[in-house]
Amino acid sequence: MAGQPLIDNDRRAQQKARAIASDIYLYNKARIEEALKNDTFFDDPELSELITEGRDLFRSGVTPDIFKKNFYDRAIVDRVIKPMAALKTAIW
């Protein structure tokens, strides 16, 4: 049985990236909030692992050309970091 075809459409790739990032946010909101408060978002080993796993999942489902468009990293900013914009933290 063949696997799913790779996504080669920008819109569908953006949807996939946003879905992965939204799941990271949904299931790790408290950890993300704490890491942003302490300016350790990029240093937190568990968050780093989750973001890397999400990136690998995204990469495995899209064509190399689509992956190069950086949709996943933009989704992390839009769906994981931006929702915390009202958070009191020294980093912004």
**Is 24:78 a contact under the CB 8 Å cutoff?**
no
Retrieve residue 39's tokens.
Answer: 């300016």
Domain chopping of the chain, boundaries? 10-83
Residue-level pLDDT, tens digit, the chain, 92 residues? 467 899 999 999 999 999 999 999 999 999 999 999 999 998 999 999 999 999 999 999 999 999 999 999 999 999 999 999 999 988 88
Neighbours of 24 (CB within 10 A): 20
Number of H helices and E strands in the chain, helices first, is 4, 0
pLDDT for 74: 98
Q: How far apart are CA 3 and CA 9, in angstroms?
A: 17
Which residue type occupies 8?
D
Confidence at residue 2, expressed as pLDDT on a 0 to 100 scale: 60
User: Residue 58: helix, strand or coil by DSSP?
Assistant: helix
What is the model's pTM?
0.92
Closest CA to 13 of 60, 83, 81: 60
Q: How high is the pLDDT of residue 89?
A: 87
